[in-house]
Every structure is written in structure tokens, then in C-alpha cells.
A = this chain, B = another copy of it.
Amino acid sequence: MTQRIPIVENILNANDRLAEENRARLEAAGVFSINIIASPGAGKTSLIEQTLPRLKDKLRVATVDGDIATSLDSDRAAAAGAGAAIQINTGGDCHLDAVMLRGALDQLDLTQFDLLIVENVGNLICPANFKLGTHKTVLVASIPEGDDKPYKYPGTYRGVDALIVNKIDLLPYIPFKMDYFQRGVRALNPNVAAFPLSCVTGEGLDAWINWLTQHATHNMI
């Protein structure tokens, strides 16, 4: 496998340069941006569906949704009130990269938005390695995935700025040791902003909305 390493590094270097360009474009337009990553089915799109109506009349929001196939996610974002909802189909690639985000930014008049929400491809590994140029990375974990995930995916948990712990409404039905989960998170990422919540019941959403609104309105980058 050794011979692959230089190639991957070259790709990552090129990606990082493009990510910096994306960041500069977003900042020039005054747009705060987040990159949401998660396992398939952890609830990225549900979180966006619950978030958009709560930002109405406060922030103008655009979404970019990455998927292997279909426009199911951007359809849901548009229905939830996104000012623009762009779908990227990677066609097989297991993550978004800075080139793909640049293509999406080309389709937006950034001056018309305050917040850009990027929903990455459902994958707990690869998206963590590719910067997009967004300001904050948000990981959506979920109770049914199990309490051992920080231990098994340390690189992903280490690199994020905010951690949503979704589906807390299922805690009564699933063996999930919150102490064990939290110990793993704190060991890897002691300063992460953590938001246990449920996109079904709405419990815990206020704290997340406050965090997001604070960052987007005061450019707390």
C-alpha cells in the first residue's frame, strides 16, 4: 500500500489550496458556513429540516447536499425553507471535496446569504480528511449507532467543532451508556460544543440553534 501515499498527499494538498479559496470567497461575502458529517442515517437531513424553520426571519440560508445518488436530501432542504438548495451527486465518491464545493458556490449569489450549510456524504471516515473551506465542522452522532463510536472513529471525533447527539428520544429503548460515550468524546476533543437532541421531539434543539445563530450573526469564526 505504501506506493499510494504520495499520490494521496498530493491530492490533499491541492484540495487544501482550493478549500482556502472557498473560505476566502465565503468570507468576502460575509457568509458563515458549516460542514455537517455523519454516518448514513444519523440524521443530517432531519437536523437541517428542523433547523431551517427556526432560522427563518433571522438568517438567509443556502444548503449544499452531497450524496452518492438522488436529490432526496436537497428536496427536503428546499421544502424546509432553504433559500437555495444545491445537490451534488458524487457518483461514487465517498466524500465531498473542495472542488465540488467550488462548483456549488459558482451557482450561488453569495451576497444573498448569511449561512451556508453543507451536508456531506453519509460516511464517518472519508469526509474528515477533505477540507472544504467551511468555518466549522459539525458531527451528527446518534444513539442507535452505539456508545463506542468515539473510540472506533477517533480521527473524526477529534477534528470537529460541534457534536450533535441525535435521537435521544430512543434512549429508553437502546443500551447506550452516555458516560462511556462522553468519556470517549472528552478524551479526544475536550472543548467540543455538544448538543444532545431529538429531531423528532424537538428536545434540545434550542441550544443548537443558539450556537449556530451566535456564530452566524457575530462571525464567531
Interface positions of A (Cβ within 8 A of B):
1, 4, 7, 11, 39-41, 67-70, 72, 92-94, 97, 99, 121-126, 129, 142, 144-146, 148-149, 151-155, 167, 169-170, 173-174
Query: Are A152 and B70 within 8 A (Cβ)?
Result: yes
**In the complex where A142-B144, A170-B144, A170-B173 touch, is A72 in contact with B40 (Cβ < 8 A)?**
no
Residues from chain B with a CB closer than 8 A to the CB of A1 are 93, 97, 99
Query: Are B39 and A72 within 8 A (Cβ)?
Result: no
**In the complex where A125-B121, A144-B142 touch, is A70 in contact with B40 (Cβ < 8 A)?**
no
Residues from chain B with a CB closer than 8 A to the CB of A153 are 40, 68-69, 122
Copies in the complex: 2
Known pairs A39-B145, A170-B170; list 8 more (Cβ under 8 Å): A7-B7, A40-B149, A40-B153, A41-B149, A69-B154, A92-B129, A122-B153, A169-B173
Q: How far is the CA of A142 from the CA of B154 in the complex (A)?
A: 23
Q: Name 22 A/B residue pairs within 8 A (Cβ), A-sorted.
A: A1-B93, A1-B99, A39-B41, A39-B122, A40-B153, A41-B142, A41-B149, A68-B152, A69-B151, A69-B154, A70-B151, A70-B152, A72-B151, A72-B152, A92-B155, A94-B94, A94-B123, A121-B125, A122-B152, A123-B124, A144-B145, A170-B170
Q: How far is the CA of A170 from the CA of B169 in the complex (A)?
A: 12
Q: How far is the CA of A122 from the CA of B99 in the complex (A)?
A: 26
CB-nearest residue of chain B to A154: B69
CB-nearest residue of chain B to A3: B11
Query: Are A144 and B92 within 8 A (Cβ)?
Result: no
Q: How far is the CA of A173 from the CA of B200 in the complex (A)?
A: 10
Q: How far is the CA of A201 from the CA of B145 in the complex (A)?
A: 17
Residues from chain B with a CB closer than 8 A to the CB of A39 are 39-41, 122, 145
Residues from chain B with a CB closer than 8 A to the CB of A125 are 68, 92, 94, 121, 123, 126
Q: How far is the CA of A154 from the CA of B11 in the complex (A)?
A: 27
